[in-house]
Amino acid sequence: MKFIPLIWAMLWRKKVRTSLTLLSILIAFLLFGMLQGVNSAFKQTIERSNVNRLVVTNKISITESLPYAYMSQIETIPGVQRVSHESWFGPYYQDPKNFIAAFPVEPEREFPAHPEYIVPKDQLTALEHTRDGAIIGAGLAKKYGWKIGDRIPLHSTIWVKAADGNSDWDFTIVGIYEDPNERSREDAMFFNYKYFDEARSFAKGKVGWYIVQVKDPSQSAQIAQEIDRRFANSPDETKTQTEKEFQQSFMKQIGDINLIVTYILFAVFFALLFAVGSTVMQAVREQVPELAVLKTLGFSDTRMLVLVLVQSLTLCVVAALLGLGLADLLFPMLRNTLGVVNMPATVIAEGVLMAALLAVATGIVPAWRAKRLVIVEALRS
């Protein structure tokens, strides 16, 4: 503890250099926080998916629908607790840029199947009783300033109403749901399938995909097989996956985000290694006479080694924490473009670990040099 002032003084020996190095490290960790943060936020969403749920899609692809009649058939399969369904509505609000994830559902099935969505009971009843009612996520409500009772027109890019050949659909907001554990899922909207199915001009009696809640998650593999077997050789064969597999395959379609992030971060840290390494090396070179004095005063070899290492450790960890803190502050800005809300805490731990590794990698050679310092020669120079 008593060496803190000494280390501090040694670090700030050259103010400009230390500040600039601090800045380089800070920037590298800002990038680390943002990129790794996005990467693990995506992974977290997948990890947190409900193990009790299966997603049943058409085998050909998710864009092909399934008959409504499959619901009662799936319900009879042993081990199935509840079946719900969703369909792709593909609407936007006013401008195609304002895309909204909206799904026609049967509320009495959808919300029990998704216990993580928290909706007041009276709002749920209101949805069941309002033909054109909709329950929206808290995030969506905030984005457009919508509140209960508002009437909103949405333009569907797919569905045309049979009555007027028009694609503009009106909804009344009757409720707002929350998902406290996964705020990024608060951007969706759910409305009555009945309203949707009666009004649309084609594909009546079809749904997009089924969501099956199983009684025992350890049985989900068998149940999935059983569902697919039940519909094998029918005109609409199914493909049943766990919710996790379903989300994973979707992410994989977008591309290997993990790989891109790794490439970029590898490049960043490669450059950083040189920048920090050269600074620490120079600092120690300039400190040689002082280190020699310390040694003369009786500092042991090991203590010299530790002294130099702690210097680079302090520099790296302090800068890393600043960088990660800044990343954490900037992170919510990505919500609109990437749909991520918070930087996962694990990223901070990973970052600090990286900083420690960086400190050791860049500090070990100079530290070794300080340890092996020969007093007489050092003082003479």
Partner 1 sequence: MIKQIVAVTSMNLRSLPQRIGTAWVIVIGIAVTVAVLVSVLAMAAGFQQTLKGTARADRAIVLRAGSQAELESTIDRQNAQTIMDAPGVRKDEAGRPIASAEVVVIVALPQKKDGSDANVTLRGVGPNAMKLRPELHLVAGRMFRPAVRELIVGKSAAAQFKGLDLGSKIAFRDSEWTVVGIFDSHGDAHESELQGDAETVQSAYRRNGYQSVTAMLDSAAAFDRFKGALTTDPTLKVDVRREADYYAAQSTNLSKLLNLLAYFVGGIMALGACSGALNTMYTAVSTRTLEIATLRAIGFSGTPIVISVLVESLLLAIVGSVIGSAAAWLFFNGNTVNTLGAGFSQVVFHLTVTASLLVSGVFVACTIGMLGGLLPAIRAARLPIATALRAS
In angstroms, give the least distance from the CB of 39 to partner 1.
13
Q: In whole angstroms, what is the distance from residue 46 CA to residue 242 CA?
A: 11
Structural contact between residues 214 and 220, judged by C-beta atoms closer than 8 angstroms: yes
91-92: strand order across its sheet: 91-92, 151-156, 168-177, 133-137, 188-192, 101-105
197 binds partner 1 (CB under 8 A): no
In angstroms, give the least distance from the CB of 255 to partner 1.
5
Q: Identify which range of 79-87, 186-194, 279-287, 369-377 contacts partner 1 by CB under 8 A.
A: 279-287
- Work out the angle at residue 319's Cα, subtended by the Cα atoms of residues 355 and 35, and round it to the nearest 5 degrees: 65
- Work out the angle at residue 254's Cα, subtended by the Cα atoms of residues 251 and 257, and round it to the nearest 5 degrees: 75
225 binds partner 1 (CB under 8 A): no
Q: Which of 239, 320, 324, 366 binds partner 1 (CB under 8 A)?
A: 239
Which amino acid appears at position 222 of this protein? Q
96 binds partner 1 (CB under 8 A): yes
Q: Which long-range contacts (CB under 8 A, 24 or more apart) does 67-75 make?
A: 67/205, 67/206, 67/207, 67/236, 68/205, 68/206, 68/207, 69/205, 70/210, 70/231, 70/236, 70/238, 71/207, 71/210, 73/230, 73/231, 74/210, 74/212, 74/227, 74/230
In angstroms, give the least distance from the CB of 174 to partner 1.
26
From residue 99 to residue 138, what is the string marking binding to partner 1 with x (rule CB under 8 A)? ----------------------------------------
Task: For residue 55, give the H/E element and its range.
Answer: strand 53-58
What contacts 185, CB < 8 A, 6 or more positions away? 45, 116, 137, 179
In angstroms, give the least distance from the CB of 225 to partner 1.
17
From residue 312 to residue 341, what is the string marking binding to partner 1 with x (rule CB under 8 A)? -------------------------x----
235 binds partner 1 (CB under 8 A): yes
78 binds partner 1 (CB under 8 A): no
Q: Which of 6, 46, 101, 281 binds partner 1 (CB under 8 A)?
A: 281
**Where are the alpha helices (H) located in 12-106, listed in sequence order?**
15-47, 70-75
Name which of residues 337 to 376 contact partner 1 (CB under 8 A).
337
Q: In whole angstroms, what is the distance from residue 367 CA to residue 312 CA?
A: 9
85 binds partner 1 (CB under 8 A): no
In angstroms, give the least distance from the CB of 208 to partner 1.
12
Question: Which residue lies nearer to partner 1 by CB, 111 or 231?
Answer: 231
* Footprint of partner 1 (CB under 8 A): 16-17, 20-21, 23-24, 27-28, 30-31, 34-35, 59-64, 90, 96, 155-158, 160, 165, 167, 202, 233, 235, 239, 248-249, 252-256, 264, 267-268, 270-272, 274-275, 278-279, 281-282, 337
